[in-house]
Chain A
Amino acid sequence: SQQGEEDPQALSIQEGENATMNCSYKTSINNLQWYRQNSGRGLVHLILIRSNEREKHSGRLRVTLDTSKKSSSLLITASRAADTASYFCATDLEGAQKLVFGQGTRLTINP
C-alpha cells in the first residue's frame, strides 16, 4: 500500500504560473523527498526536507512540511514547459530504512 497520497492527481496550468502539489502521509517520518519523472523513465531527486524542518527552498522550488498534519507541499514558481512531468513525494519512514512513494501528480505546463 502507498504511504503517501498526492493531490491533485493531475494539474494543468499556463506557462509562467505557479504550480502547487500536496502530499499526505500516515506514519512518522525521518524525512520527505520530492522526485520528478519524465515520460515514465527514471526519477530525479528534487529536494529533501527533514522532519525537524518546516520549509526549504531550491531555485524555483519551495517545499513545506507540517508534521502535525502529516502533509507536505511542493510549489514550483514561474513554471516552464520543461517542468511538464510527474512529481512524486517519497517518505523515509521511521525505523523502516526504505523510501515509500506516493501515487504522483501529473503536471502539464501549457505554452
Chain B
Amino acid sequence: DAGVTQSPTHLIKTRGQQVTLRCSPKSGHDTVSWYQQALGQGPQFIFQYYEEEERQRGNFPDRFSGHQFPNYSSELNVNALLLGDSALYLCASSFGYRTYGYTFGSGTRLTVV
C-alpha cells in the first residue's frame, strides 16, 4: 500500500521563477494538505484541498496556489519565487476532510538562489 508520494525530492530555482510541486495521496485518502517548513521551524499550514476545492488556507500570499485533480492528487504552485520561499514542502493526505489520520510524504526540498 503506497504512502504519500511527493515529487521532485529536491529542486533548485532562481529568484523570480515559478515552481510546481506534486503530491499523490495515500491510497484511500481524498484530502490533501500542504505545509511549508523552514529550516529549524515547525511546519506552517499553506492550504487544504478536498473534493477539488481549496477548503482552508493559511497565512500565505496569493503567489501560492494549488489544485486537486479528480484522482485526488494535488499540485502546489509558487510564482515569483523569493529567497524566503526556500524550505521543505510537505504534503499530507487524510480521508474525508478530517484533521486526524494524516500521512505525510517525505517532502520536496526547494532552494531558491
Chain A residues with CB under 8 Å of chain B are 1-2, 4, 30-31, 33, 35, 40-45, 48, 88, 92, 96-104
Shortest Cβ distance from residue B88 to the other chain A in the assembled complex, whole angstroms: 6
- A residues less than 8 Å from B37 (CB atoms): 40
Assuming A42-B106, A44-B104, what are 9 further A-B pairs, CB within 8 angstroms? Answer: A1-B59, A2-B42, A31-B100, A33-B102, A42-B4, A43-B92, A96-B56, A97-B48, A99-B99
Quick check: A97 and B97 within 8 Å, CB to CB? yes
Quick check: A103 and B43 within 8 Å, CB to CB? no
Shortest Cβ distance from residue B49 to the other chain A in the assembled complex, whole angstroms: 12
- B residues less than 8 Å from A45 (CB atoms): 101-104
One digit per residue, 1 when the CB lies within 8 angstroms of any chain A CB and 0 when it does not, for chain B 85-105 equals 000101010000101111111
Asked if B71 is at the interface of the complex by the 8 Å CB criterion, the answer is no
Asked if B55 is at the interface of the complex by the 8 Å CB criterion, the answer is yes
Quick check: A101 and B56 within 8 Å, CB to CB? no
- B residues less than 8 Å from A35 (CB atoms): 104
One digit per residue, 1 when the CB lies within 8 angstroms of any chain A CB and 0 when it does not, for chain B 28-54 equals 000001010101011111001000000
Shortest Cβ distance from residue A47 to the other chain B in the assembled complex, whole angstroms: 11
Chain B residue with the shortest CB-CB distance to A106: B40
Chain A residue with the shortest CB-CB distance to B59: A1
- B residues less than 8 Å from A31 (CB atoms): 99-100
Shortest Cβ distance from residue B22 to the other chain A in the assembled complex, whole angstroms: 15
Quick check: A99 and B104 within 8 Å, CB to CB? no
Quick check: B99 and A43 within 8 Å, CB to CB? no
- A residues less than 8 Å from B109 (CB atoms): 40
- A residues less than 8 Å from B66 (CB atoms): none
Chain A residue with the shortest CB-CB distance to B109: A40
Asked if B58 is at the interface of the complex by the 8 Å CB criterion, the answer is yes
Asked if B25 is at the interface of the complex by the 8 Å CB criterion, the answer is no
